Amino acid sequence: METILLTLYVLVWPVIVLAVMSLLVKGFVADWREARREGRTLL
């Protein structure tokens, strides 16, 4: 039982990281498009 729980714990982390990274990239792309539309830089 302990081995199964540890395996699930290890396998869930990449899914959580992927979700967080996807949200960050989505926000960055949205800001980047808005800046390009307005003719300004991101920085």
- Alpha helix ranges (H) inside the chain: 2-38
- Mean pLDDT per 10-residue section of the chain, whose length is 43 residues: 91 96 98 96 87
Q: What is the pLDDT of residue 16?
A: 96
Q: What is the pLDDT of residue 34?
A: 96
Residues 6+ apart with CB under 8 A from 41: 35
Which amino acid, residue 39? G
pTM over 0.75: no
In b/e form, how buried is each residue of 18-32, taking b as 16+ CB within 10 angstroms? eeeeeeeeeeeeeee
